[in-house]
Amino acid sequence: MNICFLMYPWEEIDPDNDTSLSLIHECAKRGHGVATCSPSNLTIRNSVTYAFCTVVNRLEKVPASQKSYYNKVTIREEMLPLAGFDVIFMRANPPLDPIMLNFLDSVKDDVFIVNSLQGMREANNKLYTAAFGDAMSDIIPVTHVSKNKKYLVQQIKESTAEKMILKPLNGFGGSGVILIERSAMSNINSLLDFYISNSDGTSNYVILQEYIEGADQGDVRVLMLNGEPIGAMRRIPGEGDHRSNVSAGGSVAKHSLTKQEKALCKQIGPKLIKDGLYFVGLDLIGEKLVEVNVMSPGGITYMNKVYKTRLQEKVIDFVESKVIDKLQAFDRRSKLRKTVQDA
């Protein structure tokens, strides 16, 4: 099997903690061919979609640790047709590049893509969580999304909460997430100006969300595979920071899903599968869904450390099964067509 990881550049990988590297390492251990490319390296040659790939050379003996593997492996650059891969694994950082998806549209029927292009289009930003909320459900916190400053100020004034969360719609890794308090309302206009307005005259959407009690104690990251939770951890904010993202200085600890959290996962799992979102990360606070990460959910290395497990094995097992299903279906159709042709 040959897998192309559509992700950030090879030299930007964190050998110790990178989830993408964990997946690549597992593929290499199983003898699969691996290449990576960044969205900017997609191209079309003679009406065929190619990528300028970083091909990871095979090793006769793959080191046991992903850090040793990263340090020992060699790479080379090749221009390769994407339809020649069995799998394209989406691991690019947000925000989603729509042009990237347009390139991949040409190969989506030939290659198994994790996650599906349509699912990525629907769920690439923080608006997707709204699909799980309704008048009869409190699965998500009260949320407002707008680029209308007057409206947002009004929502803050009308809220009975002493604290709210403000963040950019397309942020990731905890970037731009701030806690606003009613006692600091004098600063809200300048804050909204900063978040909404760009120097070129364009504007950005921002999210205003109710502050969930206990958020200062961190959040829960749940990794979902094919609609089922395969691992969870509690992310604890660093000193003097309300953000619990590990990339923002937070730490991790074990976490057993509560009855309510398990029910939440069970409730949203079928929609994730329906949308082709096979490998995602859920962010939960106070047993409520705050975010669905569909582009490059992380956490495997940290969960492996605290639970002494190897979650990447489950992910690659799943990917292999989907490729086998696809090949068997193709073989079956080919035999049926030959039967009709020979009749």
Domain coordinates in residue numbering, the chain: 2-114, 142-210, 215-309
**pLDDT over 80 at 157, yes or no:** yes
Q: Which fold has domain 142-210?
A: Dna Ligase; domain 1 (3.30.1490)
With H, G, I as helix, E, B as strand and everything else as coil, classify residue 83. Answer: helix
The pLDDT-based confidence of 239 (bands split at 50, 70, 90) is: low
pLDDT of residue 143: 84
CA distance 9 to 27: 18
User: From its phi and psi, is residue 159 left (phi > 0), alpha (psi between -120 and 50) or beta?
Assistant: beta
For 162-207, the pLDDT digits (tens) are 888 888 887 666 678 888 887 777 788 888 988 898 888 888 898 8
pLDDT of res. 159? 85
3-class SS at 61? coil
Q: Which helix (H) or strand (E) holds 106?
A: none
**Whole-angstrom Cα distance, residue 136 to residue 209?**
19
pLDDT tens-digit readout, 105-135: 999 999 999 999 999 998 876 678 876 766 5
User: pLDDT > 70: what percent of the chain?
Assistant: 93
So what's the pLDDT on residue 343?
Answer: 85
**To 5 degrees, how large is the angle CA 206–CA 294–CA 12?**
95
The pLDDT, as a whole number, for residue 161 is 82
Distance CA 13, CA 23 (A): 12
Q: Which helix (H) or strand (E) holds 232?
A: strand 228-236
For residue 285, the 8-state DSSP code is: E
Please report the pLDDT score of residue 190 as a whole number.
87
The CATH number fitting domain 2-114, selected from 3.40.50.920, 3.40.50.20, 1.20.1630.10, 3.40.1010.10: 3.40.50.20
What CATH number labels 215-309? 3.30.470.20
Q: Could you give the 3-state DSSP secondary structure of residue 168?
A: strand
Strand 288-293: give its sheet, edge to edge. Answer: 251-254, 228-236, 219-225, 279-285, 288-293
Average pLDDT for residues 14-30, to the nearest whole number?
97
**How buried is 8 (Cβ within 10 angstroms: 0-12 exposed, 13-18 middle, 19+ buried)?**
middle
The pLDDT tens digits for 285-337 are 999 998 899 999 999 999 999 999 999 999 999 999 999 999 898 889 899 99
Model confidence over 61-84: pLDDT tens digits?
999 999 999 999 999 999 999 999
What global pTM score does this model have?
A: 0.85
Beta-strand relationship, 228-236 and 219-225: antiparallel
Residue 224 has a pLDDT of 98
